[in-house]
Amino acid sequence: MKVELAQLNYTIGDFEGNSRKIIGKIASAKEQNVNLVLFSELSVTGYYPHDLLEKKEFIKKAEDAVAEIAKVCVGIAALVGAPRINENERGKTLFNSAFFLSDGKIQSIHNKTLLPTYDIFDEYRHFEPNREFHIVEYKGERIAVTICEDLWDEQPTANEFGKDKLYSISPMEELAKLNPDFVVNLSASPFSYNQEGWRKDVLVKKAKNYGIPILYCNQVGAQTELIFDGGSVFIDRDGEIIKELKYFEEDALILDTKNIGEKSLQNEADYIEKIHDALVLGIRDYFQKMGFKRATLGLSGGIDSAVVAVLAVRALGPENVRVLLMPSKYSSDHSVEDARILAENLGIRYDIVHIQKAVDAFEKELAPLFEGCSADVTEENIQARTRGIFMMAISNKFGHILLNTTNKSESAVGYGTLYGDMNGGLAVLGDVYKLDVYKLSRFMNRDGEIIPENTIVKPPSAELRPDQKDTDSLPDYEDLDVMLFNYIELNKSPREIADMGFDEEIVRKVVRMVNMNEYKRFQAAPILRISSKAFGFGRKMPLVARY
């Protein structure tokens, strides 16, 4: 059988656009004598629709779209993903389903069994789990249909406090009893740089343990925070990856299940390159799918804004990026010069707005209220919020989306000003630790200097008071990032982190800063997720607690 893996980029709720892509791919596949085309999980609606699934008209449009797609499946078959109404008296309203389309109609429906409810996933909120297993018989082949998590009943755990067997049932075990010739998996598996290898390991283990080939079709593209990296694969019955599709872009592959041919894999990239590509895709899709074209940001001469500026240009083009340089009396000359050089290297428009007069005006008006009080972080925040006012003015006046430049290390410990440097419609680096921001800058400069060397090597500083350095109030990032990763991603306790060789008092101070600043992160812009545990809806912590 000739099967095509169709790795496409969908938009949530764009039934017309998604259907047009699917139907176009079916038509081109038919011209190449393909028998079956595979699409990803919830391909008709886009993944994940969240509470749009509670709207009756949304489900009706999904049903109509599946029916229209089925009409073109004559002389060819397809598997598409969409929600389906649960007709049983009990249970959730919907199933997360794969529809097998052939001879112009829906031939069979296969419901998802394992519904993830961890991290960014909340599928049991809307879907009823499957309890019945059957296969597709088509063109002399017996095909087992699974949906994403159905192959993930066993997972590596990120820490000791967790189970590797998450579910009480194994769909693969049930389907293997039906003697399929191969398994297909319709997936919407988001990218995370520190778990990317696990996905392949799970798929390889399943194919090898059951002696059944797996055709895994993943989604590509970004849906606000979530970034899907593609990387669809064919794995033979011995657990060897034979075919692999591209990462972070649409791709397709036709293979003959009886004559797979030679191995064809993608070139291996290191995790920094993958993070780079993921962030570029995340920015581009956020703008395109929201109907925006132009971005703006404050360019300070620091490493974070420099990296965001480069990513924005690569995602949107230099003609669609405009930056403001906003020096105060505390800004060093070299910071302004570094920012100017970067803007010129990128070919983007920049304007210099001196904020000191505005800051002085605020301080003058506040002086009677602050009489008898010494200067503190309040005055520093006035500077940050003044810059925020200028940036939002550009955003409002010209229809630009403000990109936030706060990195994960700073966000974790509250090293940012609400309604100031935390402003923005999208947090580009909110899931990237500071040391990885530096690595991104080196990657960007690999073919020649784009980001000025001085920006990379100078000590990081908010430049809100004389001779200020980040290390005045924070540990060195070499230590801080390790502490944060172990606390946030691995859920280790302060004592466990201290046992790694850190001063326990410093560790507890860092953990306290993380816990105390949940209220800030709650008000922050949506974050492009590139790790297994990003701030946002994948990490739900109480705002008020004494833990």
Round to whole Å and give the CA distance between 209 and 206. 5
Active-site annotation holds for 268 = no
Round to whole Å and give the CA distance between 407 and 9. 27
Residue with tokens 């764009």: 14
Q: Which two tokens stand for residue 380?
A: 């520093």
Distances (CA, A) of 371 to 236, 367, 368, 375, 465: 75, 6, 5, 10, 20
Three-state DSSP class for 19?
helix
> Cα–chain-centroid distance for residue 416?
22
What pLDDT is attached to residue 195?
79
Closest CA to 307 of 272, 353, 352: 272
Active-site annotation holds for 397 = no
- At 133, the amino acid letter reads F
Q: Give the CA angle between residues 121, 192, 47 to the nearest 5°.
A: 40
Distances (CA, A) of 84 to 60, 61, 93, 95, 116: 9, 11, 9, 5, 18
Task: List, in sequence order, every residue forming a beta bridge with 543; answer none if it has no partner.
Answer: none
42-60 per-residue burial string, b: 16 or more CB within 10 A, e: under 16:
bbbbbbbbeebbeeeebbe
Q: Which of 4, 21, 25, 41 is catalytic?
A: 41
What pLDDT is attached to residue 335?
86
Round to whole Å and give the CA distance between 203 and 146. 12
Round to whole Å and give the CA distance between 410 and 432. 10
Active-site annotation holds for 41 = yes
CB 203 within 8 A of CB 151: yes
Q: Which of 2, 21, 25, 112 is catalytic?
A: 112
- pTM across the whole model: 0.94
Task: List, in sequence order, every residue forming a beta bridge with 190; answer none if it has no partner.
Answer: 228
What pLDDT is attached to residue 468?
72
CB 222 within 8 A of CB 282: yes
Tell me the mean pLDDT per 10 residues along the chain, length 547. 97 98 98 98 97 97 98 98 96 97 98 93 95 96 97 71 74 96 97 86 95 98 97 97 97 94 93 98 98 96 97 98 94 88 98 96 96 94 96 96 97 95 97 98 97 92 71 88 96 96 96 96 96 92 85
φ and ψ at residue 113, rounded to 5 degrees: -90, -50
Distances (CA, A) of 310 to 70, 79, 315, 334: 43, 39, 9, 19
Round to whole Å and give the CA distance between 9 and 472. 45
Round to whole Å and give the CA distance between 155 and 171. 14
Round to whole Å and give the CA distance between 406 and 300. 12
Residue with tokens 């997720």: 529
Distances (CA, A) of 441 to 272, 273, 438, 455: 10, 11, 5, 9
Round to whole Å and give the CA distance between 15 and 80. 13
- Tell me: cis bond preceding 48? Omega within 30 of 0 counts: yes
What pLDDT is attached to residue 399?
95
For the chain, give the longest Cα–Cα distance.
87
Residue with tokens 């001085």: 454
What pLDDT is attached to residue 515?
96
Q: Which of 25, 148, 243, 492 is catalytic?
A: 148
Round to whole Å and give the CA distance between 381 and 464. 8
Closest CA to 221 of 21, 58, 366, 411: 21
What pLDDT is attached to residue 197?
80
Closest CA to 352 of 334, 327, 322: 327
